Structures are given as C-alpha cells and as structure tokens.
Amino acid sequence: MQVDKVKLKASIMRDSFFEFVKEMWPVIIQEEPVYNWHIPYLCNELQIVAERVFVNKPKEYDLIVNISPGSTKSSLASVMFPAWVWTRMASCRTICASYTHNLAISLSVKSRDIVMSERYKKYFPEIQIREDLNTKQLFVNTQRGSRYCVSTSANIIGEHAHIHIVDDPLDPKAARSETAIKEANMWLSDTLSTRKVNKAVTPLIMIMQRLAEDDCTGYLLAKSGKNIKHICLPATDDYEVKPPELREKYINGLFDPVRLSQETLDDIKNNDMSEYGYAGQFGQSPIPLGASMFDISVPEIVSTIDPAAIAAVYRFWDKAATQDGGCRTAGVKIARLKDNSYVVLDVIKGQWRADIRNKLMRDTAATDGYDVDIGIEEEPGSGGKESAEYTIKDLAGYSVRTDKPTGDKVARAEPFSIQFNVGNVKIMNASWTEEFLRELQYFPKGKFKDQVDAAAGAFNLLARKRSAAIW
C-alpha cells in the first residue's frame, strides 16, 4: 500500500509542477511556504511552455515574466523547474543563466540539492546523477539530461539546450550603464540564441525585474516578428498589470499583501531605493509614477485631419550621422490648427550616414511640399554652424530656419509637454505612433531622445510663428 501511495504521489507531481513545488519546498527553503496566487499561476505558465518541449512540438511563444524581488521567482524558475522537467523528460537539457557567475552557481547548487535529496529519490528513483558529471556548473543524469549554468557575459561552448531559462540577466547596479545593458542584450541575441537543440522548439523563459527602458525585457519586446507572452506583475496595481485580468487577483491593490504589504513597500520606497529603482524593480515600469514629462494617456489618436483646419506646419530635424548605431536622426512634422491646437502629423527616424540622411531630408521636403516650413537644429560651435548652413543650401527653394538650442533637452521640451498634458496635442494613428509615444513616456530617462527633441523643436517654432503673427 505504501508503494502505491508513493507512485500515486509521483504521478500527481509529474502532472502538476505546482504539486511538485509544494512537495519539494522544504528541501531548499526553511521558511513556511506562503502560496500567494501568483505561485500556482506561474507554475502553470511554466508547465504550459514545457509541455510542448516534452512532445517536440514547435513553441508557440517565448515567455517573459516581470515580477518583484522576493516573490519566489528564482526558486520556481531556476531551481525547481529544471528538476521537475526531468520527471517528465529525463533527457531534457537546460541552460540556466543569471547576471553573475556566482548567482548562477548558487541557483544550480540548489537545483542539484533537490535532485539529490532523499525526497526526490523516493518519488523519482529513475533519475540519477552521473558521478563523473556532477559539478556545481554542470550536472548530468544517467539519461543524458543536463542542467548547465552560465553568467550572461560568458561564452557557451559545446552546450545546446531543449529549454533556456534566464533569471535576472542584468545586475540592478549595472542597469545604470548603457554598455552593460547592451552587452546583456547582445548576449541574448548573439550567444544564447545559437545554443538550441531545435530552434523551432526550444523556448526562452526569462524572469526578471524591470531596470531600464531598453533592458532585456524592453529589448526583446521591441524586436519585430518575435512572438512573446509577456506577464507583468507589479507590486501594486498602480502600475500596468499583464494580462490585465490578473488585476482582479490583487487584494486592496497589492500583488502579495503578506510578503509585500503596503507598509513593506513604503519602507522600501522611502528608505531603501531611489524613485527609479523602486519603479523598475517593484512597479515593473522603469519610470516613477508621475515622473514622466509626458502623460501618454492624454492625447487623442486621430486618423484624419481636415486640411482646411491647418494654420501652419513645421517639420523639424534633429540630425545625427551614424550608420546603424549611436544617435538617430529624427524629423517630426507638427501642424498648428486654426483653433490653436496641435497635431503630430508624421515622424521619420533612423540611423543613417550623412549622405543618405541628406538625401532623405531632400526627398521628404519634396513630399511635404513648399507649404511645410523646415526647422534645423544648429549645434554649438563652428561645426554645428557649418552643418546647418550646408543643410540650408541643400534644401534651397524651401523655407528653412535654424534654431540654436538654449538650455538642456528637458527645458526645451517643457513648452511642448505642457500643451501635450492638457490635451491640446493630437497624434496621427500611424506605424510610428507607438514608438513615438513610448519615447515620450520614458523621456528624459529613456534610451533615445531624438523624437522628443525634434517634436519640441517643431512645436517651439510653430509657437514663435504664432506669436509673431499676433504681434
């Protein structure tokens, strides 16, 4: 009878990752479990991804989970999940990554502790670790399943996996460095992505806290053509929850009222972290509430504008000259209507070398027509003056005005943001709209500022033109 009970329990755990978690919890965690609603929910989401791997079916999506620290995310995804996967597919190979080698090793040791525990052996005696391949970084079972751990800066030589698990790919301190962010993103795309048993089947599971607009989550979500299921679970429902129906599971607006109570969160916010650190790691939005200069929920998105309602139009260019990297060139076209409201009509942006950029500006001027005035930012110094003069000559026949920037980018954008936030700016619904709004939302802390600079330049010239007309 005892043997039957053991087999029954083992069968239940094979069928349910959450049941496995409950049984194996005491092996690695001494504290009493607090099974907030998100734990069975995430267990189920992880299992859904794995089930397709077990039957060698192409993945439907990669999975990204943004969640606060202290929410058992690593214990679930990096520690227990690889051990559970072997109960269903003993030959499964996983590559597990974290931002430092020491963290990756620590999680690997805990996962190995589960597999080597008497409790695990009791239910799954068929899973045995090979004595000759039993290290902290790599351990392999007798059926050729393996768990291999690396940092997100390491080369991966000779290893291919059925499942990739990335747990906190970026150090919160390193998120202040654009170089560190870029290196983590390039590791995901250039290194880890090549280490798959089957490119069509191997899924990426990434679980992390948000740290910057272009952190690994932002980088992957921005890639076109990439199918991703994005789960976002901030500590309070003041921030965006994804999928939105999960908001109903929050209690008094709190994600986890026991471990992340309002008192705990207030203490973290007021004493332990900066505004931006708290917004990213606990709000899963790397801008503080109310800190953005632009409230992107305000403007009306429109499909058409009556040409007869337009009083004046400016396209302003914020120029750069870097091919496929660095700063971008942006040209934003804004109209002032006769009722003194404004409409963002068009946005062009990209990274081009100077000759291609100059041709694009000429072609755009021809498309816009002679009724559209053109603004050019004149950078300080003789080089900036010469560049502006060249552009004016290159656009001969059009109405071109140079603008010498005064103050910093924030000061120059403030007049535009004031009109934007009171609803006096509409935005055309186009292919560029979403990215334009995202840059506004993250300004001035975002990765790019060129669209905002160009929009502010066009707005300021329109406002001056109106003042001159009134005078």
Provide the pLDDT for residue 471: 39
Quote the CA–CA distance of 38 and 33 in Å, as a whole number. Answer: 13
What ranges in 244-380 are assigned the alpha helix state H?
262-267, 275-281, 354-368
Provide the pLDDT for residue 291: 63
CB neighbourhood size of 323 (10 A):
13
Is 70 exceeded by the pLDDT of residue 152?
yes
Q: Which two tokens stand for residue 100?
A: 């430092």
Is 70 exceeded by the pLDDT of residue 433?
yes
Strands 129-134 and 138-141: antiparallel
Split at pLDDT 50, 70, 90, the class of 470 is very low
Q: Tell me the percentage of the chain whose pLDDT exceeds 90.
A: 71
Domains and CATH numbers, the chain: 2-233 (3.40.50.300), 301-470 (3.30.420.240)
Average of per-residue pLDDT values in the chain: 91
Quote the CA–CA distance of 60 and 201 in Å, as a whole number. Answer: 9
49-62 confidence digits (pLDDT tens)? 999 999 999 999 99
Is 90 exceeded by the pLDDT of residue 175?
no
Q: Cα 455 to the chain's mean position, in Å?
A: 24
| 94 contacts 148 by C-beta, under 8 angstroms | yes
Provide the pLDDT for residue 327: 73
Is 60 exceeded by the pLDDT of residue 468?
no
DSSP states of 395-448 as a string? Answer: TTTS-EEEE---S-HHHHHHHHHHHHHTT-EEEE-STTHHHHHHHHHHTTTSS-
Among 1-15, 93-107, 300-314, 341-355, where is mean pLDDT lowest? Answer: 1-15
The mean pLDDT value for 217-245 works out to 92
99 SS3 class: coil
**Residue 281 half-sphere exposure, CB side, CA atoms within 13 Å?**
20
Q: Produce one character per residue of 388-397: b if its CB has 16 or more CB atoms within 10 Å, e if not.
A: beebbeebee
The mean pLDDT value for 134-138 works out to 95
Is 90 exceeded by the pLDDT of residue 333?
yes
166 SS3 class: strand
H helix count then E strand count, the chain: 16, 15
Is 80 exceeded by the pLDDT of residue 166?
yes
CA angle 176, 278, 166 (to 5 degrees): 65
pTM: 0.74
Is 90 exceeded by the pLDDT of residue 120?
yes
Is 90 exceeded by the pLDDT of residue 446?
no
Quote the CA–CA distance of 422 and 16 in Å, as a whole number. Answer: 51
Quote the CA–CA distance of 127 and 121 in Å, as a whole number. Answer: 7
Sign of CA dihedral 119, 120, 124, 130: negative
Question: Which residue, 59, 93, 104, is CA-closest to 162?
Answer: 93
Instruction: Give me the phi and psi of 425, to 5 degrees please.
Output: -125, 125
The mean pLDDT value for 344-363 works out to 92
Ramachandran assignment for 68, one of left (phi > 0), alpha (psi -120 to 50 degrees), beta (any other): beta
Quote the CA–CA distance of 129 and 275 in Å, as a whole number. Answer: 46
Q: Cα 286 to the chain's mean position, in Å?
A: 9
Provide the pLDDT for residue 251: 96
Is 70 exceeded by the pLDDT of residue 191?
yes
237-266 confidence digits (pLDDT tens)? 999 999 999 999 999 999 999 999 999 999
The mean pLDDT value for 421-441 works out to 93
Is 60 exceeded by the pLDDT of residue 409?
yes
